């Protein structure tokens, strides 16, 4: 089957590779977000998906919007049978959805109808879900509302960051997507409408969402940090300094915690840094000060002039 692939970041790459490596299908074109600029020279930086497409000699289209006339013109020239979308980063309008004979399918990183929206993995960790998964569904005008072709499940480990979990789902979801494409070509699959019950939404994350609130219980602080790691990165303030934090671990039973700690209050030992929360303390793993690399929390504390009233906020 002739396919067009739309995706942008690294989590979309496993599925693109899976389809390129398939001897049964032909990826005739790739649509990805426009190049960004980075570094002192403001050099153009290709998306991860664009880099893979270039390496395989696949034509790449980088429209600012999927409603741009060049999108329709290019799709008519490529003449794909089916579109596959993974983390493209933009909405596909109805005229484009209706253009392909088999429509478009989307790999979404949740068990739909749970966590429709831009940040399903982050939402699952923040909510304390023990099971999550991935779904391949038929795109329609509504946000992640289309009927589902197939689903897989995966455990959420107690130490998972959003980056860890998303990487696992991206790998396993690539095989699911390939199987769905095979099934559509064979005429063996019919998508099933989503349940009306159990709908939840996962809005796009902002930097403000990633600020740690130390007055919340330790297990919520733990989830908040893991849900925002590595991007945009959990953060807090020490005086005027904004610090980026690595994952924390609840330390209720740690005998090295020097007494009760108020929310945000720091306690430093030779080998560890603890912070009080709304319940018990947590132990910091890494701290990254502005303009510096992330470092072990105890090493950071030794190099920082912390007074006895040191407190994160």
Tens of pLDDT, residue by residue over 224-258, are 999 999 999 999 999 999 999 999 999 988 888 88
Q: 287 exposed, middle or buried (CB, 10 Å; 0-12, 13-18, 19+)?
A: buried
Asked if 265 and 226 touch (Cβ cutoff 8 Å), the reply is no
Do 171 and 211 sit in the same domain of this protein? no
Give the model's pLDDT for residue 306.
Answer: 77
82 among annotated binding-site residues: no
Instruction: Show the DSSP H helices in the chain as ranges.
Output: 13-21, 48-55, 69-78, 94-97, 120-127, 162-186, 218-227, 297-302
Query: pLDDT: is 310 or 69 the higher one?
Result: 69
Do 50 and 94 sit in the same domain of this protein? yes
Question: Could you tell me if residue 234 is inside a domain?
Answer: yes
Q: Report which DSSP code applies to 195.
A: P
110 among annotated binding-site residues: yes
Give the model's pLDDT for residue 308.
Answer: 67
Asked if 10 and 38 touch (Cβ cutoff 8 Å), the reply is no
Do 80 and 34 sit in the same domain of this protein? yes
Which among 254, 273, 255 is positioned nearest to 264, based on CA atoms? 273
Torsion over CA: 226, 229, 231, 233 (sign): positive
Do 75 and 192 sit in the same domain of this protein? yes
Question: Could you tell me if residue 310 is inside a domain?
Answer: no
113 among annotated binding-site residues: yes
Question: Could you tell me if residue 313 is inside a domain?
Answer: no
The percentage of residues in the chain with a pLDDT greater than 70, rounded to a whole number, is 99
Domain C-terminal end among 202, 228, 259: 202
Asked if the model's pLDDT at residue 267 lies above 70, the reply is yes
Render pLDDT for 159-198 as a digit per residue (tens, 0 to 9).
999 999 999 999 999 999 999 999 999 999 999 999 999 9
CATH code of the domain containing 162: 3.40.50.170
Question: Could you tell me if residue 311 is inside a domain?
Answer: no
**Structural domain boundaries, residue 274:** 207-304
Q: What predicted TM-score, i.e. pTM, was given to this entire model?
A: 0.93
Question: Could you tell me if residue 37 is inside a domain?
Answer: yes
Do 12 and 109 sit in the same domain of this protein? yes
Render pLDDT for 84-123 as a digit per residue (tens, 0 to 9).
999 999 999 999 999 999 999 999 999 999 999 999 999 9
């Amino acid at each position: 089957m002739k396919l067009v692939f739309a995706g942008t970041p690294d989590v979309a790459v496993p599925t693109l590779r899976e389809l390129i490596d398939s001897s049964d299908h032909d990826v005739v074109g790739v649509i990805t977000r426009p190049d960004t600029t980075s570094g002192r020279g403001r050099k153009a930086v290709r998306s991860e998906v664009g880099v893979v497409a270039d390496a395989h000699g696949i034509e790449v289209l980088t429209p600012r919007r999927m409603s741009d006339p060049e999108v329709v013109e290019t799709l008519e020239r490529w003449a794909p049978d089916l579109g596959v979308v993974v983390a493209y980063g933009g909405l596909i309008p109805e005229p484009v959805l209706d253009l392909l004979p088999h429509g478009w399918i989307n790999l979404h990183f949740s068990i739909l109808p749970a966590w429709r929206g831009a940040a399903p993995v982050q939402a699952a960790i923040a909510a304390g879900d023990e099971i999550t998964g991935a779904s391949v569904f038929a795109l329609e005008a509504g946000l992640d509302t289309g009927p589902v072709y197939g689903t897989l499940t995966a455990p959420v480990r107690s130490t998972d960051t959003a980056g860890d979990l998303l990487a696992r789902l991206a790998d396993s979801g690539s095989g699911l997507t390939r199987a769905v494409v095979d099934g559509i070509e064979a005429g063996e699959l019919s998508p099933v409408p989503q349940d009306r019950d159990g709908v939840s939404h996962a809005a796009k994350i902002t930097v403000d969402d990633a600020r740690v609130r130390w007055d919340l219980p330790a297990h919520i602080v733990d989830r908040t940090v893991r849900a925002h790691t590595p991007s945009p990165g959990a953060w807090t303030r020490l005086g005027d300094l904004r610090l980026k934090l690595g994952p924390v671990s609840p330390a209720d039973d740690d005998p090295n915690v020097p007494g009760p700690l108020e929310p945000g209050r720091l306690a430093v030992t030779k080998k560890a840094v603890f912070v009080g929360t709304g319940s018990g303390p947590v132990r910091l793993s890494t701290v990254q000060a502005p303009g510096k690399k992330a470092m072990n929390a105890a090493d950071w504390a030794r190099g920082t002039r912390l007074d006895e009233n040191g407190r994160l906020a």
